[in-house]
A and B are shown apart, each in its own frame.
Chain A
Amino acid sequence: MRDRAGELSRRRVLQTAAGTAAAATAGAFATGTAAAQDEGDGGEGVPAEYDGWFTGDARGGEVQNYDGTTVDRTGESEVTVTVGADGNGGTFAFEPPALRVSPGTTVTFEWVSDTHNVVVESQPDGAGWEGHDPIEDSGFTFSSTFETEGVYTYLCEPHLSLGMKGAIVVGAAPAGSGGGGSGGEGVPAEYGNWFTGDARGGEVQNYDGTTADQTGQSEVTVTVGADGNGGTFAFEPPALRVSPGTTVTFEWVSDTHNVLVESQPDGAGWEGHEPIEDTGFSFSHTFETEGTYTYLCEPHLSLGMKGAIVVGAAPAGGDGEPAGPTGDGGSPPFWVTGLAGGILVALLAPIVVSYYRYWDRDGRSTGGAAGRGAGIPADEPVPEAAEPEAVEEIGHDEYDPMGTAALIVVYALILLVLWVFMYFVEFLGNGPTVIG
């Protein structure tokens, strides 16, 4: 969103170059990956579907150390999960957050920082995993053997809001599913200037340069009219990556929005939803054709209510995301410049005015005719004005400053009211109070 034209084109060149290189690498490895996935998987397999468990939509915060991949440790009899590893803004992560093991594997949970527990959120029917409810500190370990196939999700209660959540998939992966980054060349997340103010409509302020990766899930939800862009004028997530065949449901959470398709890959037939709908409405579309789809909300286009969906796996070796911060972010908005200028002028004004006055007085006293009384020759001193006569003289005690006295009385009354209110009403009246 802070793209400057030059930077954008430079990045696109880099992305294209990286994409090409990555495609070549991915192609070379594609055969090997596919073979590894097929190995030992005759049956139906267990897909790594977490139903949004790693997002902020589930209980607790978003799991920031989950990058969309499930660590495959199938075929090993003993696997370790680190509890309290670095991540989620501190030592608040399960490492790996998503893990795939074979049935019968013993998973050991190892505490490497303090104040964590393992509470089971969900598990397959018939499984009896209990986790470890008591809060333990660094050095503690416990092991569980997972027999029942399926997806187990768990969390750390003290740090749930920070996103300390994990999942274990027991069972082989389904044939043909790539747990992210499947074979092929991949689709880079390139939106051109769609999210900037250079394209139709306003700048998409709720787009932070990242594409939400929801590949591997069969159903994904996009919120229409979420908070953002100065009101409830955002698609959430604004940029989304899904696998081909994913059904994306658009859910209205505020009023007066529609979904108009701006661009889509050749051969794709997405129609969006042109009629304007209100809260509670939803529609779904299954995206089959790989490529980048852009869409917008017509009523709020000028506010930046735009979105994009990338269908297909990310290119190996990067999602085409901007690498690192995008430079200095360009010039600040107009109002910042205006405000800063105003403050500067206000600060300088006294200096300028006093200089002017000084110069002016100077001019007067050094004989400028303008400052002199009319009719006085230039070489004669200007006579001083006569002091006015006192009308009536009064002594020190005869003068009564009634106005000042009234002001002080008013101040004292305000003080009195504040005192009574603060101590007797706010403090003593706010029971219960500490009595010992």
Chain B
Amino acid sequence: MEIHRFEKLWLVAALLLIVAFIGTIVYGALGAGVAMVDDSGGTVDPDDPTASDNFREPGVYTTDDGDVEVYVIARQYLFSPGSTEPIQVPANTEVTFYVTSGDVTHGFNLAGTNVNTMVIPGQVAEITVEFDETGDHHIVCHEYCGVGHHDMRGTVDVVPQSQFEVSDE
């Protein structure tokens, strides 16, 4: 088979591009430290998430090593906490969100960021985030969950470490 030299050129270029794409993903995971949401959060009883050992009363907690843990239950149609009162977390601190659902499948997304997960009944979504800047982030539910879905939202309020007060202990 005779292949024109131009064709050889763009075959090689296309292969290089594929290698570069894969390289990007590897860089994101190893270099930039982008993680995927996995099943490390474990499972809970969907009817009563707080009864399980791996899910606490919804609220904001600090751990012994200074990190922050936020437990959120999504329900039709609010994030608790988050919707009725904002979730207050400190900046420049590792914040781990544990999110589960009490009824149907919801979504948990900080609008405009990569903090984004599905919220499945019985399954705890565990995502660790570090906020570099203070300010408000809006939480949106991006999985259609019923007639009030469009109104299901909340707020994460990132405050300087000095102003952060633990509401739950």
B42 interface contact, C-beta 8 A: no
B146 to chain A minimum Cβ distance, whole angstroms, is 7
**CB-contacts of A410-428 with B (<8 A):** 412, 415-416, 419, 423, 427-428
CA distance A89 to B150 in the complex (A): 14
Category for how many chain B residues contact A: 35 or more
A32 interface contact, C-beta 8 A: no
Q: Mark B82-101, 1 if CB is under 8 A from A, else 0.
A: 01100000000010100000
Nearest 8 pairs of A and B residues by beta carbon? A436-B128, A161-B151, A433-B114, A89-B147, A115-B75, A432-B129, A158-B78, A434-B127
Contact between A433 and B113, CB atoms less than 8 A apart:
yes
Extra contacts besides A135-B75, A427-B28, A433-B113 (8): CB < 8 Å: A161-B77, A423-B28, A427-B34, A427-B114, A430-B113, A433-B32, A435-B130, A436-B35
Contact between A415 and B17, CB atoms less than 8 A apart:
yes
Contact between B37 and A434, CB atoms less than 8 A apart:
yes
With a 10 A CB-CB cut-off, give which of B5, B102, B114, B147 has the most chain A CB atoms: B114
Q: A435 and B129 in contact (CB under 8 A), knowing A115-B76, A412-B17, A423-B24?
A: yes
Contact between A430 and B4, CB atoms less than 8 A apart:
no
Contact between A397 and B4, CB atoms less than 8 A apart:
yes
CA distance A90 to B147 in the complex (A): 8
Of A233-241, A289-297, A300-308, A400-408, the one with at least 4 CB within 8 A of chain B = A400-408
B110 interface contact, C-beta 8 A: yes
> In the complex, which residues of chain B have a beta carbon less than 8 angstroms from the beta carbon of A434?
34-37, 114-116, 127-129
CA distance A396 to B2 in the complex (A): 9
CA distance A401 to B5 in the complex (A): 10
**CB-contacts of B46-104 with A (<8 A):** 75-78, 80, 83-84, 94, 96, 102-103
A159 interface contact, C-beta 8 A: yes
Contact between B113 and A397, CB atoms less than 8 A apart:
no
A431 interface contact, C-beta 8 A: yes
CA distance A114 to B73 in the complex (A): 14
In this complex, what residue of B is CB-closest to A158?
B78
In this complex, what residue of A is CB-closest to B5?
A397
Contact between A396 and B4, CB atoms less than 8 A apart:
yes
> In the complex, which residues of chain A have a beta carbon less than 8 angstroms from the beta carbon of B28?
423, 427-428
> In the complex, which residues of chain B have a beta carbon less than 8 angstroms from the beta carbon of A159?
76-77, 148
B12 to chain A minimum Cβ distance, whole angstroms, is 12
A206 to chain B minimum Cβ distance, whole angstroms, is 21
**Candidates A135, A161, A400; contact of B6 at CB < 8 Å:** A400
**Candidates A400, A419, A431; contact of B21 at CB < 8 Å:** A419
In this complex, what residue of B is CB-closest to A402?
B6
